Structure 1
Amino acid sequence: MVVPQLLLPLLGLLLLALWGLLLAHAPSPDPHWPPGPRPLPFIGNLHQLRVAQQDRSLLELSRRYGPVFTVQLGQQKMVVLAGYHAVKQALVGSGWALADRPPIPIFQSIQGGRGIFFSSGPGWVAARQLTVRTLHRLGYGRTPGALKVLQELRCLQDQLDSYRGHPFPLSVLGWAPCNVTFTLLFGRRFDYGDPVFVSLLGLIEEVMVLLGSPCVQLFNLFPWLGTLLGLHRPVLRRVEEIRAILRDLLPTRPPSSPPCSYLDALTQEAQLHPSSSEGQLSEEDVVACALDLLMAGTETTASTLQWAALLMAQHLEVQGHVQEELDRVLGPGRPPRPEDEQSLPYTSAVLHEVQRAITLLPHMPRCTTAPTLLGGYLLPKGTPVIPLLSSVLLDRTQWATPDQFNPGHFLDAQGCFLKREAFLPFSAGRRACVGERLARTELFLLFSGLLQGFQLSPPPGLGPESLDTTPAPAFTMRPPAQALCALPRTQR
């Protein structure tokens, strides 16, 4: 990693030189595409996008060029959709027209077009349908899955008790949602000290940080240069270590046995249909799907629960209102159940506001599967499209105080929970999060149980204002590493 970091300043000088030499000959935007900023040769509009806050830069450009505009990243031209109306209309109203993903170089190198999240075509359809069926069959998002989440909640509570009110690393809160995903994948949970559990968490952490690094972003923009410099190799090495663990955990159950885990279901499908032709799964497809679910299922729920705890320690008054409602509705000793969410409007509003405020995945690109009309512009097949979810969750026409943490966004005048159409943290349409129902149930139970049992606060000597809420550099907007205190409450 040292060599690329030394070469990056030299690359910057080269780009500046090209800019200076060719600025006068910069091409005008294609009149058949939506309007957008004038691209420069070689780098496109990269000079107008902040690396660490690319979504905020795109949001600023939308205020100048409108809800549908064009940017060029390196040599790749793409269309950005900003604001609730543009994004919702495109994702929900376009049907299959935005169902594909563009080929992102780093994920092509990792998965080779396989898996659930960065694949397209018949293979993606087969993998997604099998995933949906398996989640339903195993009871995730319903009572059987909820019981597994509550089991993990008790383990998390025991872990926090072991700190006896002393500061604990925020990352500890991610262990429980990660183990829920592991239980889904492998059919069993792991002790928090288990070497496989520790290894997987460490590797996932490293991969997520590397995927958000400038080196990998440079690789995605200029794959030929990134390959020459080996910018993708650290990610590939760690992913291969994860794959090795997944292969070791592949089940050997006979095809006639009912599946007990996600890997069971995929392995049986591959055994029954061993061909790797269209719409069928090979063993490589099984490992690719498991890798996708492992990475996405752990990162999103774990980071969201950590953000929720961090924001509760920062907004102590909000935390107190949540605990008052939990005490009143649940009483002492009874853990939350999925059906309690309707009786806990303030708790539900707070959890929804956490997801709105953090914008964990600001944008995930789509790709047109055919010539598609968006915002009055006919985009050719294969056009990369960025539905800017952060622009929806921060849309000033939809939220009273979009830049503030305000649970009132999800409450009406009578204090009842208010469903908001602009709440799209899981995206929408054909590519909406395949595990949304599981994630929502999991987050509600873990968040409610955590605040029912503990008072969260900054470490001794620090005030709420000292807590750092600047997202750490990574593939997602994960919270920065720091410590909190969890003091047991008498109601537990």
Structure 2
Amino acid sequence: MDITWISTVLLALIISSILYSSWNAMYRRRNLPPGPTPLPIVGNALQMRRGKLVKSLMEFAEKYGSVYTVYFGHSPIVVLTGYDTVKEALLDRAEEFGGRGRVPAFDDFFRGKGIVFSNGELWKDLRRFSLTMLRNFGMGKKSIEERIQEEAEFLVAEIKSQKEKIIDPTNLLVQAVSNVICSIVFGNRFEYEDKNFQQLLNLFASTFKDMSGSWGQLQEMLPEIMYYIPGPHQRINSHLDKLRNFILERVKINQETLDPNFPRDYIDCFLIKQQQENGNTHFDTRNMILTILNLFFAGTETVSSTLRHGFLILMRYPEIQDKVLEEIDRVIGQNRIPNIEDRSKMPYTDAVIYEIQRFCDILPVNVAHLVTRDTNFKGYNIPKGTDVYPLLCSVHQDPKKFATPNKFNPQHFLDSNGCFKKNEGFMPFSAGKRICVGEALARMELFLFLTTTLQNFKLTSKTKFTDEDIEPRMTGFANVPRFYEMSFIPRVL
């Protein structure tokens, strides 16, 4: 045997052992929360199950507790689990945990711009402006509720045109929900077969797919390495460039026809704000375009996937669907379209919608947070700038807040008298300073789309769905329902 070869191997083992010992000692001295011991360069990536990042993080919590540390490459991530821990961070200590952390799939493109990925005064200005716009101030003659009602009627008409055929409802729901955002941002909706609309939706779907797949998860865990490795994740910036160009063309059209006295949509309002701010870079065109992209990503996939989950669950539990139908018939009837004021008179339907959101857990990890200053949390030191993952799925599955956390159960949001009751463990829109800016819009969409659909149709399928069928399927940082087909049967009363 070649002695030189043996010497080389032994030397490599000794060097590796020294490096690992030094890394481990340095890692332990930082007084971060405990967690699995990371390896140099790759951190804890090899200890994560491929394509099952969220499940891996939940499993670590069983061993290391409600607050622990994992390493993505050389970067520490503090993970928070359970209602008490997440509440303490996001609500009780909202200022310290209110920064926006890294999202490697998007960071190179957004670079700290736009409402979702910005921090500091830029984020505050964009958030304040967008909240005002989404509360119906200054956007044409139609209220946001009227825009949703209009789209819900278009959705019903499109379903009727299918003539009870067995279909996958995904595209219909994505088109309807996206059209609400289009109406707010661009001032008009698109016909479902419109080629530009289809191109827009395909780009969003492709971006979401590439980000949520196994390659996208590796990019999240090992961004410095994956930057140089070819794969589907490398297409994300190309998709985003095309989306940016699509929005930029719409901005140019608005600029040419702008009347400051009669704003038609979100773009007009942003352009007017630009003029008023007179050079404030927080309201430049780049921030406008990236904030619009944020609104589309946050408002389309989440709401449409929640509705898809909801349809599937109501077919699994026809007795629950029947109770919702009875409440719709009693409160709304068949002679008018549902409105948002109906919700307060429909506690069972409201509880079902809340439970759909809790159960399907669209964003189980939330978007990464960041601590804004050196923080002592539960006896551990978290340095300023450290990324934090509040696992919303762990809150929604906390037995302290939900009697049957792994079962679909509308009683989680009903009291003994059948009246709706709030539950502090309900956090699908996150909590604290970074709570979703579109929460009110999303809640309105879920109620109006669901009740308008069920006012007109009974949901059926030839498939006999099981509890396993309705369980959320985790793909990266989002949950999506399993593929299914169904029929919409017109209701004759």
TM-score, normalization by structure 1: 0.90
Measured in 2, the distance between the counterparts of 1:206 and 1:335 equals: 34
Choose 298-307 or 231-240, whichever is displaced more: 231-240
Offset at residue 407 of structure 1 (A)? 0.9
**In 1, Cα distance between the equivalents of 2:419 and 2:199?**
44
Deviation at 1:143, TM superposition (A): 8.7
The one of 5, 28, 31 equivalent to 1:30 is: 28
1:175 counterpart letter in structure 2 = Q
8 Å CA contact retained: 2:109, 2:237: yes
Check the 8 A contact 1:213/1:473 in 2, yes or no. yes
* 1:284-308, Cα deviation, whole Å (9 max, x unpaired): 1111111111121111111111111
Q: Deviations over 1:433-480 (max 9, x none)?
A: 00101111111111111112111111x3x2223956552636521223
Residue 6 of structure 1 aligns with which residue?
Answer: none
For residues 26-65 of structure 1, what are the structure 2 equivalents within 5 Å? 27-28=24-25, 29-31=27-29, 32-65=31-64
Shift of 1:283: 1.0
Gaps of 5+ in 2: 1-11
Per-residue Cα deviation, 1:344-391 (whole angstroms, up to 9, x for no partner): 111011100000001100112110111123223231111111111000
What is the correspondence of 1:3-152 to structure 2 with a 5 Å cutoff? 25=21, 27-28=24-25, 29-31=27-29, 32-138=31-137, 144-152=143-151
RMSD: 2.4
* 1:23-422 mapped onto 2 (5 Å cutoff): 25=21, 27-28=24-25, 29-31=27-29, 32-138=31-137, 144-171=143-170, 172-231=172-231, 232-250=233-251, 251-252=254-255, 253-254=257-258, 256-273=260-277, 275=279, 277=281, 280-363=282-365, 364-422=367-425
Structure 1 distance, partners of 2:183, 2:410, is 32
Deviations 1:15-66 (A, max 9, x none): xx99x96597461542511122222233222233234332232222222222
1:202: how far off? Answer: 0.9
- Give the structure 2 partner of residue 480 of structure 1: 482
More divergent stretch after superposition (400-409 vs 70-79):
70-79
| Deviation, structure 1 residue 170 | 1.9
State which drifts further: 172-181 or 370-379. 370-379
The answer to whether the 8 A contact 1:35-1:65 is kept is yes
SS at match of 1:236: helix
Q: Where has structure 1 moved over 4 Å in runs of 4 or more?
A: 20-24, 466-470
Q: Distance in 1 between matches of 2:382 and 2:474?
A: 35
Look up the equivalent residue of 1:30 and give its one-letter code: R
The one-letter code matched in structure 2 to 1:267 is: L
Partner of 2:478, secondary structure, is coil
Residue 138 of structure 1, CA deviation: 3.8
In structure 1, C-alpha distance between the alignment counterparts of 2:137 and 2:159, rounded to whole Å: 29
Q: Distance in 1 between matches of 2:150 and 2:182?
A: 13
Q: Which amino acid aligns with 1:97?
A: E
Which structure 1 residue ranges, 5 or more long, are not aligned? 1-16
Shift of 1:325: 1.4
Could you tell me how far 1:79 is from its partner in structure 2?
Answer: 0.9
Given residue 273 of structure 2, which amino acid in structure 1 is its aligned partner? E
Asked if the contact 1:203–1:238 (Cα under 8 Å) also holds between the matched residues in 2, the reply is yes
The answer to whether the Cα contact below 8 Å between 2:52 and 2:475 also exists between their aligned partners in 1 is no
Aligned residues: 470
What's the counterpart of residue 8 of structure 2? none
Q: CA deviation at 1:271?
A: 3.7
Provide closer, same or farther for how the CA distance between residues 115 and 335 of structure 1 changes in structure 2, counting only shifts above 3 A: same
Q: Summarize the Cα distance change of 1:121–1:304 in structure 2 as closer, same or farther, 3 Å threshold.
A: same
Separation in structure 1 between the aligned mates of residue 103 and residue 175 of structure 2, nearest angstrom? 29
Q: Which has the larger radius of gyration?
A: 2
Identity of aligned residues (%): 34
